[in-house]
């Protein structure tokens, strides 16, 4: 096992508590403040990158699509535009920017594809129609970003609910059971929505206001310790397996699992299309999500306001997302309960493995 876990990995884990202590002061305040404009900058980059990828996929003119999408994105930005305070304006853009970038890239690409039957002139005409409509909206002081902000309010209320959380968790895990990357399939809708809610929590924190949302991106750190299916306990249980293949697999997957990367486990064990493990793989995240939601809703744990990448190990990630030590206890409780649920299913799979010739 020692050969499979490099010293640099243990050094990283050892540094995390130190960073948590340092980041709990003014440094974290500055880092949180930097997240808001980062969402706006991310949206601008996404408009260019996504339009370029769509052009390659649909065999459309790359220069036309990227230029038109970037122009459309600028025309659709919130008004009034106060460029004298760029950071404050990027904060404003971040609220709807990801939705705009994705939507406009698809609309511009669709217009170009619709006009392709008429040749190059048709592609240009299709894109031009989209830009003319956006210019008209701009001149009428009715940019799509303002309308999107109003439309997102009820969508945000719907997404910030226990039912929505359970639906997202169930869909992601069920798709994984048949080998489809659930988060990637749902990302176009789910990620912008929950990043927007996360941004609103961050904004409220910086203004010392009550955090408005429970279900944000960082809440999923409580739901999926170890990655999709909350499979961190599986990796550790297999370390003590009587089957040599399973022990070897665990040694190769436990380090990634600590950083919430479990594709080697999903396809190497496998968990995908495995009747022995499909029930806990779907059921455990529903359990951990339920516990996390109601613990947060009842103020047993602070709401998350900082966006933390999923690669950060769960105990450190939930603390940095909430700055609440109770969050660490909650995620450890979730891991313990997940271990109890997974244990009989893993043991049954071990017996099946041992019976194979």
Q: Are 131 and 75 in contact (CB under 8 A)?
A: yes
**Domain assignment present for 260:** yes
Q: Are 28 and 39 in contact (CB under 8 A)?
A: no
**Domain assignment present for 331:** yes
Pairwise CA distance, residues 287 & 279, whole Å: 12
**Domain assignment present for 201:** no
**Domain assignment present for 193:** no
Q: Does residue 228 share a domain with residue 144?
A: no
Q: Is the pLDDT of residue 24 over 80?
A: no
* Last-in-domain residue among 151, 174, 193: 151
**Domain assignment present for 161:** no
Q: Is the pLDDT of residue 32 over 60?
A: no
Q: How many domains does the chain have?
A: 2
* Last-in-domain residue among 151, 180, 195: 151
* Last-in-domain residue among 132, 151, 170: 151
Give the pLDDT score at 326: 93
Give the pLDDT score at 1: 39
Q: Could you tell me the sign of the dihedral formed by the alpha carbons of 209, 213, 218, 222, in that order?
A: positive
Q: Is the pLDDT of residue 8 over 80?
A: no
DSSP H or E segment with residue 250: helix 244-258
Give the pLDDT score at 30: 59
Share of the chain above pLDDT 90, in %: 18
Q: Which range, 77-81, 197-201, 223-227, has the best average confidence (pLDDT)?
A: 223-227
Q: Beta-carbon neighbour count of residue 153 at 10 Å?
A: 9
Q: pLDDT tens-digit profile of 245-281?
A: 888 888 888 888 888 888 888 888 888 888 888 899 9
Q: Is the pLDDT of residue 330 over 90?
A: yes
> Mean pLDDT score of the chain, rounded to an integer?
80
What range defines the domain where residue 83 resides? Answer: 7-151
Average pLDDT, integer, range 110-136 = 83
Pairwise CA distance, residues 84 & 188, whole Å: 32
Q: Is the pLDDT of residue 49 over 50?
A: yes
Q: Does residue 127 share a domain with residue 217?
A: no
Which pTM does this prediction carry? 0.69
On the question of a cis peptide bond just before residue 93, with omega within 30 degrees of 0, the verdict is no
Give the pLDDT score at 292: 95
Give the pLDDT score at 284: 95
């Amino acid at each position: 096992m020692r050969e499979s876990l490099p010293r640099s990995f243990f050094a990283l884990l050892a540094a995390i508590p130190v960073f948590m202590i340092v980041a709990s002061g003014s440094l974290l305040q500055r880092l949180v403040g930097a997240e808001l404009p980062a969402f706006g900058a991310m949206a601008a980059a996404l408009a260019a990158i996504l339009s370029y990828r769509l052009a390659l996929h649909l065999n459309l003119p790359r220069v036309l699509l990227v230029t038109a999408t970037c122009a459309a994105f600028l025309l659709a930005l919130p008004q009034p535009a106060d460029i004298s305070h760029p950071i404050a304006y990027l904060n404003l853009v971040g609220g709807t920017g990801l939705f705009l970038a994705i939507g406009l890239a698809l609309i511009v690409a669709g217009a170009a594809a619709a006009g392709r039957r008429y040749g190059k002139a048709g592609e240009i005409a299709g894109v031009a129609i989209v830009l003319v409509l956006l210019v008209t909206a701009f001149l009428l002081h009715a940019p799509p970003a303002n309308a999107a902000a109003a439309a997102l309010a009820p969508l945000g209320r719907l997404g910030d609910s226990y039912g929505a959380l359970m639906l997202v968790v169930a869909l992601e895990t069920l798709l994984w059971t048949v080998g489809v990357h659930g988060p990637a399939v749902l990302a176009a809708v789910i990620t912008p929505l929950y990043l927007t809610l996360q941004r609103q929590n961050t904004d409220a924190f910086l203004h010392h206001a009550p955090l408005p949302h429970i279900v944000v991106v960082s809440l999923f750190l409580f739901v999926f310790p170890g990655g999709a299916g909350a499979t961190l306990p599986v990796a550790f249980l297999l370390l003590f397996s009587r089957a040599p293949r399973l022990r070897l697999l665990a040694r190769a997957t436990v380090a990634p699992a600590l950083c919430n990367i479990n594709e080697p486990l999903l396809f190497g064990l496998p968990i995908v299309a495995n009747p022995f493990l499909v029930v806990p793989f779907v059921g455990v995240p529903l359990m951990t999500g339920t516990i996390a939601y109601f613990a947060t809703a009842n103020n047993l744990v602070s709401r998350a306001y900082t966006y933390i990448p999923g690669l950060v190990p769960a105990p450190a990630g939930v603390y940095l997302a909430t700055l609440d030590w109770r969050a660490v206890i909650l995620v450890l409780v979730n891991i313990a309960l997940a271990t109890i649920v997974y244990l009989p299913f893993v043991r049954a799979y071990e017996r099946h493995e041992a019976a194979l010739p």
